[in-house]
Amino acid sequence: MKTLHTEALLLRSVDVGESDRILHLLTPRTGRLTVVAKGARRSKKRFPGTLDFFNHLRVQVERRRPTSMPQLQLARLERTFDGIRRESRRFALGCYLLELLDRLSPEGGRAGDLKALFDFALGSLTLLDETRPDAALRTLLELQALDALGLRPELGRCVRCGTPIGAARSRGSSGSGGQSSAAALGFHIADGGPVCCAEPGEMLLPVHAGTLRALEGGLRLGLPQLGRLSLGGQALAEARALVGRFLRFHVGIELRSEAFLEERLTPAGAGGRLAHRDSNADSNARRA
């Protein structure tokens, strides 16, 4: 790369020295791209109000030598997502998604995959700009993020023997609402899918077939429609546990913005952390 012109979203910003900033960008051409913005802190003329989170940018980046860090030359504002900055739930989930993308986005890859990842990031900010999120929307956005990052869990068949889940175990279940009577399946976090033929004593997360089907439905929806999918109380609690643990397995650490997000998406007066999620799930189910 010598000169790159592309769209970009800011994922992370670190001040260095007296006046510079190191920026992690997400672009549809490169995936995650680390650049230095010389003079970004001293000169307001060079990047006037553009190098903020929740801005859709058009940037020009130059790399003078193959070994040096690319330099941000220009950043023009395409669109700003003010609706996210103004409301604490949207802001908390927006920060969390940017941090997640910063941790998991690849540097380089297939052109189609990088474009799809950028489209997901831009689409999810557009959605949050207009929608106040709840625990269900958070879960579905996390699942779509995993899909866009190439880390989609298996939801339809056993990851070991390939048996379709609906055929094997879901008799008596009729969608996410009527699943209480059906036996729970086991989801293997490290293997990334349900297991119908587990060895005795294996650690599996209990989940009903209806919950897996609801999550598959969430993956088929476009981002603008995501807020319309309602998850029932049990389905939401199971989906939250499954997607949360699967994501944690891939991220490897607790994201810095996660505690803030949990606080924002939790009704006042709820108890401990796991209880938080349950009571949140129940209140969302009542609203849904």
What is the nearest approach in angstroms of Zn ion to the Cβ of residue 195?
6
For residue 113, give Cα distances in angstroms to 24, 39, 48, 148, 261.
Answer: 19, 33, 31, 8, 28
Q: Which residue of 196, 212, 223, 265 would you call a contact of Zn ion, by CB under 5 A?
A: 196
Residue nearest to Zn ion (CB): 158
Q: Which residue of 197, 259, 274, 275 would you call a contact of Zn ion, by CB under 5 A?
A: 197
Closest CA to 155 of 169, 168, 166: 166
What is the nearest approach in angstroms of Zn ion to the Cβ of residue 11?
38
167 binds Zn ion (CB under 5 A): no
Residues 6+ apart with CB under 8 A from 286: 233
What is the nearest approach in angstroms of Zn ion to the Cβ of residue 86?
48
Closest CA to 239 of 272, 270, 275, 214: 214
Q: Which residues pair with 193 in a beta bridge?
A: 188
CA distance 154 to 91: 30
SS3 content of the chain, % helix, strand, coil (to 5): 40, 20, 40
Q: Which residue of 12, 41, 152, 160 would you call a contact of Zn ion, by CB under 5 A?
A: 160
What is the nearest approach in angstroms of Zn ion to the Cβ of residue 115?
35
Nearer to Zn ion, 206 or 271 (CB): 206
What is the nearest approach in angstroms of Zn ion to the Cβ of residue 287?
36
Look-up: residue for tokens 């209140």? 283
Q: Which residue of 128, 155, 158, 215 would you call a contact of Zn ion, by CB under 5 A?
A: 158
Q: Report the interface residues with Zn ion, using CB under 5 A.
A: 158, 160-161, 196-197
